[in-house]
Amino acid sequence: MEIQEIKQRFGIIGNSPLLNRAINIANQVAPTDISVLITGESGSGKEVFSHIIHQMSPRKHGPFIAVNCGAIPEGTIDSELFGHEKGAYTGAIGERKGYFETVNGGTIFLDEIAEMPLGTQARLLRVLESGQYIKVGSSKVEKTNVRVIAATNVEVYEAVKNGKFREDLYYRLNTVPLRIPPLRDRKEDIFLLFRKFTSDFTDKYRTTQPIQLDEEAQRVLVNYSWPGNVRQLKNMAEQLAVLERDKVITAQTLLTYLPQETSGKNLPMRVDNQGKEDFSERDLLYKVLFDMKRDMVELKKLVADIIENGGVSVNHASNSQAINQLYRDIELNGTDGDSQFTFQQPVISNNKTNAFNITHNAEEIEESLSLVDKESDLIRRALKKHKGKRKLAASELGISERTLYRKIKELNL
């Protein structure tokens, strides 16, 4: 089947080369029976491609089921996928068929596969290798004939290196990798999708006329990064169709429906338009490192002034307090990433000031850039500051106490 026919059949809009390539791969792999790993950001349309592969395969008349592995609790996912016997665990009042039994002869789509527990991954690998599985609480080997299509919005190989995903399962699933491009890489398709969505919502809500964008609003639409991809674009189009009385949308109006992008949007962190932070552990670590770098730049300027002027005179209490605070914030032996300086603590008061005595060693040192080392150092400092009280240390770091406890075990602190 031609790519254009597939687009019409499954309602796919766009002419991006990356999109066409993904459709072509799905078209080629569909008649086979091999496993497929679909990767792509959340909202980019991974489930649509799983339907394409199933509907164009010899299994199209068989059952199809989509399972979100991240939405099933770890204690019950084995039962959901493989079934259980009566009395297998507390609450198992009867026998239950799993998805691999009910979808026999069809296709199962395992979304968010990277969230699957390691024990379940081992069971899944056995199904992929031999078509065999064992129900929870049973010793009888069952057989199934199911095609597995998996999807994830994370980098699975990184999870493999971190020990959170089985390497053998990764290579077994990744027989044919299929990457769905994010919307920001399909700029030529953004306006086409927007017009389709607004037209559909105009008919659905029976508004007088469809939404239109002026030229500046079109530029804003196309150049926005769309972190939520097609799902975010569709939701915004629906909001405009329902809420806006003036159907000619300006750039200023459009921006009110888009999360504000900060000037530091390329940094590995995000800040919303109220300035409130919503950091993950990695984002928090980056933020601390950037703050430390800025502080070290200020410290280097201060040291340069001291070397040039041969001393510092302090005439006001506020200045003396600032310098004393600066001294408390740094170690007696501190590094600026380029050279090493040794400080002898000054005595600074309103009436008397002893100048800094500074020895500059021309020894070049290399600052550790390991995130693990930085993370360990931050956790140690937080625990030391709060005298080993994990709850207070976790609050200081901006993470949960449970996460802090896990990090302490992982880093052998």
**pLDDT value, residue 232:** 95
**pLDDT value, residue 369:** 58
Average pLDDT over residues 239-250: 88
**Does the pLDDT value for residue 299 go beyond 80?**
no
**pLDDT value, residue 411:** 77
| CA-wise closest residue to 180 among 158, 199, 156, 152 | 152
User: Does 47 lie in the same domain as 29?
Assistant: yes
Q: Domain boundary at 154, 181, 208, which?
A: 181
**Does the pLDDT value for residue 310 go beyond 70?**
no
User: Does 111 lie in the same domain as 8?
Assistant: yes
User: Does 93 lie in the same domain as 174?
Assistant: yes
**397, part of any domain:** yes
User: Does 235 lie in the same domain as 354?
Assistant: no
**pLDDT value, residue 187:** 94
**287, part of any domain:** no
**pLDDT value, residue 265:** 45
Average pLDDT over residues 131-144: 94
**Does the pLDDT value for residue 320 go beyond 70?**
no
User: Does 205 lie in the same domain as 100?
Assistant: no
User: Does 65 lie in the same domain as 147?
Assistant: yes
**Does the pLDDT value for residue 15 go beyond 50?**
yes
**262, part of any domain:** no
**Does the pLDDT value for residue 39 go beyond 60?**
yes
**Does the pLDDT value for residue 252 go beyond 80?**
yes
Q: How many domains does the chain have?
A: 4
User: Does 118 lie in the same domain as 8?
Assistant: yes
Q: How confident is the model at residue 402 (pLDDT cuts 50, 70, 90)?
A: confident
User: Does 154 lie in the same domain as 58?
Assistant: yes
**321, part of any domain:** yes
**275, part of any domain:** no
**93, part of any domain:** yes
In terms of average pLDDT, the best of 95-104, 292-301, 319-328 is 95-104
**272, part of any domain:** no
**pLDDT value, residue 340:** 43
User: Does 310 lie in the same domain as 166?
Assistant: no
Q: Domain boundary at 197, 227, 255, which?
A: 255
**Does the pLDDT value for residue 328 go beyond 50?**
yes
> Which domain does 311 fall in, by range?
295-361
**pLDDT value, residue 410:** 78
CATH at residue 22: 3.40.50.300
**141, part of any domain:** yes
**Model confidence over 181-204: pLDDT tens digits?**
999 999 999 999 999 999 999 888
Average pLDDT over residues 167-190: 94
3-state secondary structure the chain: CCHHHHHHHHCCCCCCHHHHHHHHHHHHHCCCCCCEEEECCCCCCHHHHHHHHHHCCCCCCCCEEEEEHHHCCCCCHHHHHHCECCCCCCCCCCCECCHHHHCCCCEEEEECHHHCCHHHHHHHHHHHHHCEEECECCCCEEECCCEEEEEECCCHHHHHHCCCCCHHHHHHHCCEEEECCCHHHCHHHHHHHHHHHHHHHHHHHCCCCCCEECHHHHHHHHHCCCCCHHHHHHHHHHHHHHHCCCCEECHHHHHCCCCCCCCCCCCCCCECCCCCECCCHHHHHHHHHHHHHHHHHHHHHHHHHHHHHCCCCCCCHHHHHHHHHHHHHCCCEEECCCCEEEEECCCECCCCECCCEEEEECCCCCCCCCHHHHHHHHHHHHHHHCCCCHHHHHHHHCCCHHHHHHHHHHCCC
User: Does 203 lie in the same domain as 160?
Assistant: no
Is pTM, for the whole model, over 0.75? no
The larger pLDDT score, comparing residue 20 to residue 378, is at 20
CATH at residue 379: 1.10.10
Write down the mean pLDDT value for the chain: 81
Q: Domain boundary at 181, 202, 235, which?
A: 181
CATH at residue 195: 1.10.8.60
User: Does 379 lie in the same domain as 330?
Assistant: no
Pick the range with the lowest mean pLDDT from 57-71, 107-121, 155-169, 380-394.
Answer: 380-394
User: Does 11 lie in the same domain as 118?
Assistant: yes
**pLDDT value, residue 247:** 84
What region does 184 belong to: left with phi over 0, alpha with psi -120 to 50, or beta?
A: alpha
